[in-house]
Amino acid sequence: MKDKKTELIAKEVLQNEINALKNLKQKIDKSFRNLVKEILKCKNGKIIISGVGKSGIIARKWAATFSSTGTPSFYLDASGASHGDMGQITSNDLVILISNSGQSEELKNIIQYVSRNKNIKLIGITSKRDSLLYRNSEHVFLMPSIKEAGPENIVPTSSTTCQLALGDAIAIACMKFKKFSKLDFKKFHPSGTLSIKLKTVGDLMITGKKLPIVKDNAIMKEALKIINNKKLGLIIIRKKNGDTCGIVTDGDIKRIAQKYKNFEDLKIRKVMKKNPMSIEVDTLAAKALSLMNSKKITSLFVHKNKKIKKTVGIVHMHDILKSNIN
């Protein structure tokens, strides 16, 4: 095997697929918009995606990507559909069939079944205008005529690459129109590295009875007792109406003790730091960590709905780092 020849083959394949994607890009028009609109309109039914062979594998990928980005979908095995699984398709469903030729035998039964049910919509993804799939689909996205990357133009390569890319384009378009956020994405990805990156301050904050809180008319002696019991190295200071008005940390106490002889009898409002830093509960933990590093602090107060004075928790740097967020 000659190394240069191997490299040349690889580059030719990739260039062929790049050219195919460029052709696909030129085909994005009203038919694409209509396809996305139909998917967004499907609220009372299911989105069912099917294909045969390599197109079937692509159909699985479409369903997985759609579902993880806010458009619930599932893959229907075309062969299984002809042996009972057709019952999964019901009124108000939207069926998407992917077939380069549009003539796959295994899809014919699905096409016939959907055609007999007026309340089921069919979207066809094919490259052949004269195909069964094209003629029977309510909406069609006509793929460009593509030269496959392999010899004799027989191995599905460039065509399946375009199918894959089209599915991603549809999924992201739907995702943006639905205003699908990072927090929504996190709900569908509770495990793994992705979930760690999407952890919020609310996932890691300390709340409830674990919070060290004292009224602003308390004396330092009371505050010291609470700080020692809660072991967070700080205390939240609140007014009578429940608004947060200050903070005292372990470091502050050392400086206060050096400055005042009888500091334990001082009113905490006299020595507290006013306007402590607070962060929204749905802020990404990684962003909170970055803020702590830039301000050279180890904790942040947490609030909801932009109500900075209403502290609902404390997020500590150590808890963020323990979650492998950096």
Can you give the CATH number for the domain in which 256 is found? Answer: 3.10.580.10
In the predicted structure, residue 53 carries a pLDDT above the cut 80: yes
Residue 196 lies in a domain: no
180, 215, 235 — which closes off a domain?
180
pLDDT score, position 323: 85
Domain shared by 143 and 279, yes or no: no
Domain shared by 174 and 32, yes or no: yes
pLDDT score, position 268: 93
For 99, counting Cβ atoms within 10 Å of its Cβ (0-12 exposed, 13-18 middle, 19+ buried), the class is buried
If residue 317 lies in a helix (H) or strand (E), which one and from where to where? helix 317-322
Domain shared by 284 and 224, yes or no: yes
In the predicted structure, residue 185 carries a pLDDT above the cut 80: no
Residue 185 lies in a domain: no
Domain shared by 158 and 207, yes or no: no
Residue 192 lies in a domain: no
Domain shared by 57 and 166, yes or no: yes
Domain that holds residue 136: 3-180
Domain shared by 145 and 290, yes or no: no
In the chain, how many domains are there?
2
Domain shared by 318 and 243, yes or no: yes
Domain shared by 171 and 205, yes or no: no
- Residue of higher predicted confidence among 151 and 162: 162
114, 148, 180 — which closes off a domain?
180
Which stretch of 38-47, 132-141, 180-189, 282-291 has the lowest confidence by average pLDDT? 180-189
Q: What is the pTM of this model?
A: 0.71
Domain shared by 32 and 163, yes or no: yes
Quick: pLDDT tens for 221-246: 998 999 999 999 999 999 999 999 99
pLDDT score, position 237: 95
In the predicted structure, residue 46 carries a pLDDT above the cut 80: yes
In the predicted structure, residue 100 carries a pLDDT above the cut 80: yes
pLDDT score, position 50: 96
Rounded mean pLDDT of the chain?
A: 91
The torsion region of residue 275 among left (phi > 0), alpha (psi -120 to 50) and beta comes to left
Residue 242 lies in a domain: yes
Quick: pLDDT tens for 118-131: 889 999 999 999 99
Query: Does residue 140 sit in helix, strand or coil?
Result: strand
Residue 188 lies in a domain: no
Domain shared by 283 and 208, yes or no: yes
- Residue of higher predicted confidence among 38 and 70: 38
133, 151, 180 — which closes off a domain?
180
pLDDT score, position 2: 64
In the predicted structure, residue 15 carries a pLDDT above the cut 70: yes
Whichever domain contains 7, its CATH number is: 3.40.50.10490
**Which of these, 205, 206, 182, 179, lies nearest to 195 by C-alpha position?**
182
Domain shared by 213 and 313, yes or no: yes
Instruction: Name the band, by pLDDT with cuts 50, 70 and 90, for residue 180.
Output: confident
Residue 26 lies in a domain: yes
In the predicted structure, residue 44 carries a pLDDT above the cut 90: no
Which stretch of 163-167, 194-198, 210-214 has the lowest confidence by average pLDDT? 194-198
In the predicted structure, residue 263 carries a pLDDT above the cut 80: yes
Quick: pLDDT tens for 80-94: 988 989 999 998 899
Burial 109-125 (b: 16+ CB within 10 A, else e): ebbebbeeeeebbbbbb
pLDDT score, position 261: 84
In the predicted structure, residue 1 carries a pLDDT above the cut 70: no
**Distance in angstroms (rounded) separating the CA atoms of residues 73 and 11:** 35
Residue 187 lies in a domain: no
Domain shared by 136 and 282, yes or no: no
**Which of these, 313, 111, 132, lies nearest to 230 by C-alpha position?**
313
pLDDT score, position 151: 83
Residue 50 lies in a domain: yes
pLDDT score, position 24: 96
